[in-house]
Structure 1
Amino acid sequence: MIDAVRIGRYARAAARWTRLLLARGRADGVRVFYGHDRVPAPGEPVAGGTAKFQRLAARFPNSPTNFTLLYLGSTWLPRDARPLLALARRRRVPVVVNQSGVAYPGWAGHETEAINRRFRAALLAADHVLYQSEFCKRSADEFLGPPRGTWEVLYNAVDVAHFTPRPAPAANKPVLLLGGDQTQAYRLELALQTLARLPEATLVVTGRLVSDPQPLLDELGVADRVEFVGRYAQAEAPALYRRAHLLLHTKVLDPCPSLVIEAMACGLPVVYANSGGTVELVGDDAGVGVPHPETWERDVPPKPDAVADAVERVLADRERYARADRERYARAARERAVERFALEPWLDRHAAVFADLLTGARPRARSSRTR
């Protein structure tokens, strides 16, 4: 039996396609459709790639029917992406694709090609591709092939006036933050194993969990030093970051995690697996990377001892600079986020790309800066 949720989804899709097919004439100006009937409003919880759409829609509202530009994200492709792309081609509507990660054997296993087939269709249909990092470009070239249209690297961005450092020092005992959704079991497991090697520290864990953590909490004896806070909205995020002394980012081969930029903007150094796009975000001074190979065949997280050593290195920096305004790593994290990943230049770049495409011009080349 088809459940009520699926019936509702089909009904909304049918209504949308009725509106799309009945639309006559061509609208003027920048009217962007993100492939979904609605984009989460400011204040609503978002996960992963939907955060960037929430930020974009604040300047370029979602126009599901009479749109002049189709903007799709690889992490938030609609179920009807193929017919939407065909409609855009028939109506000569420019297509922009924001390309994040890809499926690879170590993560997706035997479903790798099935997942990548959808990504590839969007990439090849795009007039312009925005890769979220150099790593995203490299991985897309490996698994999807080169784009047919123009492209550039445009890193994710955050509102650095919203994500700001705490005005006063946090608690004396070190607080580690494991942010985002824990959609791979190893992410939480590694964080807990690291915590077990840091007897003075506590851990705050956010987001959804894919498995029950209680057995491992009991085995490691750290249950009284871990707090699970669940999902959160962007409005609540700065307060979460300000509770911590550093962000523990255990995901390997992460394409371009916005939560890392948010944490840096709040003055949090980052301890992370030294692979994927995170390397490009953190750079040389805003945290410590734990050696990790860039391999597609298996997702093997770093060893807990190595992660704990990296945490202690950052905490030692904190102790050394305790009397200064801000410790070196924290100051560098904030400065890097403000200089390279502020929201307004990111939105302005989108406006320039949209204007070029809507006037029939090729988007002007733009170089990226990371280090």
Structure 2
Amino acid sequence: MTIRVFIQTGVFQGGPAVFRSRLIKSFKKIDDIKVVKNVNEKFDIELAFIRQVYEHDKPYILRADGCYYEENRKNLNKNIKEAMKKARYIIFQSESSFKLCDHVLGIEEKMKERGIGHSIIHNGIDLEYIKKIKPAKDVAPGSFITCAGWRPNKRPNSTIEGFIRADTGRYLYIIGEEGFSKGQKISKNYWEQRSKYIKVLGKRKNKEIISIMKTCSYQLHLCHIDSCPNAVIEGLSCGLNVLYTNLGGTYELVKENGVVLNVDKPWKTKYMKSTNLDNISPDIVAEGIHKLLKMKERSKRKDLDIDEVAKEYANVIKKVWNV
């Protein structure tokens, strides 16, 4: 029997949208799963990303995207808590994301009381798509890359200042919006004048990003907390070794393919007080970069195959549908 799964597209951009599109494409390879994108069509169950957009009488599985953990943003958790309360089942991107949601929202006990099950399923990528893309010819082999939707928690200044301090003689390609965050106008000219090894490329299409990654050897990802960053999955699938920080789900992905900077301390209160997160010492970042340079080249990570991830999602859908 084919299960008709409603997935709302066109909402919630960024990382969730990237993964959602990859998952939908892989669902097409699973015979007994049919994706429905129109809420007015008949469907059996919904796979909702972040929260449910349309009210209906069908059960839904929630693919959580974490929660807000800063004191000044806690009111934004209202819809997330409501979505988790109404879900039949919740999929978290990482064990770290589940623990963070429990710490902030106290969900584990509430889920048990309501009989809401959960799974940890990491994101993935189409490895055949990666394989078909050729390495960029206008990028210096053995370079570094960093890419994100740049906000203070992504730590653009810490990343670049640390790279300059490391003085590796290699290039760093920076991908993402040029104005790194609200009220922080950092221009291409500013950074490229600071160092001839800095190349600010701005926003690029995914195929071009993968092409650049395939020529590079190292990735810098110093985000404060990321549940399961697609950029790191892309980097690992291209064989990059990664420099990353100790909180969030990145360490669950990287495994032996990188170096961790133990710079962030967990907070004891429910919410973290607002602070300047983009403040890692350049010396600490530089030291991590030099450790990264000493690492052996690793094989590309076949365990990140989106088709295998889609099968895990399909198994959850079938499990919930058959209850």
TM-score band w.r.t. shorter chain: 0.7 to 0.9
1:117 alignment partner, one of 69, 78, 86: 78
Answer yes or no: is 1:278 the counterpart of 2:250. yes
Given that residues 100 and 131 in structure 1 are in contact (C-alpha distance below 8 angstroms), is that contact kept between their aligned partners in structure 2? yes
1:31 aligned residue: 4
Q: Could you give the per-residue CA deviations for residues 19-51 of structure 1, whole angstroms, max 9, x where no partner exists?
A: xxxxxxxxx943333334x479xxxxx621111
Answer yes or no: is 1:217 the counterpart of 2:181. no
Answer yes or no: is 1:94 the counterpart of 2:62. no
Cα distance, 1:194 vs structure 2: 1.2
1:181 aligned residue: 149
Cα distance, 1:185 vs structure 2: 6.7
Give the letter for the 1:190 counterpart: S
1:151 aligned residue: 118
Structure 1 distance, partners of 2:276, 2:139, is: 34
Higher mean C-alpha deviation, range 149-158 or range 53-62: 53-62
Given that residues 23 and 306 in structure 2 are in contact (C-alpha distance below 8 angstroms), is that contact kept between their aligned partners in structure 1? no
Given that residues 273 and 302 in structure 1 are in contact (C-alpha distance below 8 angstroms), is that contact kept between their aligned partners in structure 2? no
Give the letter for the 1:287 counterpart: G
Structure 2 distance, partners of 1:167, 1:223, is: 24
1:357 aligned residue: 320
1:9 aligned residue: none
Higher mean C-alpha deviation, range 177-186 or range 237-246: 177-186
Structure 2 distance, partners of 1:312, 1:131, is: 33
Q: Any idea what SS the aligned residue of 2:200 has?
A: strand
1:252 alignment partner, one of 207, 218, 224: 224
Given that residues 135 and 211 in structure 2 are in contact (C-alpha distance below 8 angstroms), is that contact kept between their aligned partners in structure 1? no
2:289 aligned residue: 311
Q: Could you give the per-residue CA deviations for residues 59-99 of structure 1, whole angstroms, max 9, x where no partner exists?
A: 2352332232222222xx46xx3xx2xx33xx2x1211111
Given that residues 247 and 268 in structure 1 are in contact (C-alpha distance below 8 angstroms), is that contact kept between their aligned partners in structure 2? yes
Structure 2 distance, partners of 1:186, 1:261, is: 16
When residues 221 and 170 of structure 1 are mapped into structure 2, their CA distance, relative to the original with a 3 A threshold, is closer
Equivalent residues in 2 for 1:54-203, closer than 5 Å: 54-58=21-25, 59=27, 60-66=35-41, 67-74=43-50, 77=51, 81=53, 84=54, 87-88=55-56, 91=57, 93-105=58-70, 109-112=71-74, 114-146=75-107, 147=111, 148=114, 149-164=116-131, 174-184=142-152, 187-199=155-167, 200-203=169-172
Give the letter for the 1:338 counterpart: K
When residues 215 and 261 of structure 1 are mapped into structure 2, their CA distance, relative to the original with a 3 A threshold, is closer
Give the letter for the 2:287 counterpart: D
Given that residues 178 and 249 in structure 1 are in contact (C-alpha distance below 8 angstroms), is that contact kept between their aligned partners in structure 2? yes
Q: Any idea what SS the aligned residue of 1:65 has?
A: coil
Cα distance, 1:203 vs structure 2: 1.5
1:287 aligned residue: 258
Q: State how many pairs are aligned.
A: 295
* Structure 1 unaligned blocks of 5 or more: 1-27, 41-45, 318-327, 362-371
2:302 alignment partner, one of 327, 338, 346: 338
State the Cα RMSD in Å: 2.8
Q: Could you give the per-residue CA deviations for residues 138-180 of structure 1, whole angstroms, max 9, x where no partner exists?
A: 0111122223311011111111222349779997675211112
Give the letter for the 1:304 counterpart: P
Higher mean C-alpha deviation, range 230-239 or range 128-137: 230-239
Given that residues 5 and 47 in structure 2 are in contact (C-alpha distance below 8 angstroms), is that contact kept between their aligned partners in structure 1? yes
Q: Any idea what SS the aligned residue of 1:331 has?
A: coil
Cα distance, 1:205 vs structure 2: 1.1
Structure 2 distance, partners of 1:169, 1:260, is: 22
Q: Could you give the per-residue CA deviations for residues 272-291 of structure 1, whole angstroms, max 9, x where no partner exists?
A: 112111111112x1000011
Give the letter for the 2:73 counterpart: E
Q: Any idea what SS the aligned residue of 1:236 has?
A: helix
Give the letter for the 1:34 counterpart: I
If the length of structure 2 is used for normalisation, what is the TM-score?
0.81
Q: 4+ residue stretches of structure 1 with deviation over 6 A? A: 165-173
Q: Between the two proteins, what is the percent identity of the paired residues?
A: 21
Cα distance, 1:100 vs structure 2: 2.2
Structure 2 distance, partners of 1:221, 1:271, is: 24
Give the letter for the 1:188 counterpart: P
Cα distance, 1:265 vs structure 2: 0.8
Q: Any idea what SS the aligned residue of 2:212 has?
A: helix
Structure 2 distance, partners of 1:169, 1:312, is: 25
Structure 1 distance, partners of 2:2, 2:194, is: 56
Give the letter for the 1:160 counterpart: L
When residues 170 and 307 of structure 1 are mapped into structure 2, their CA distance, relative to the original with a 3 A threshold, is farther
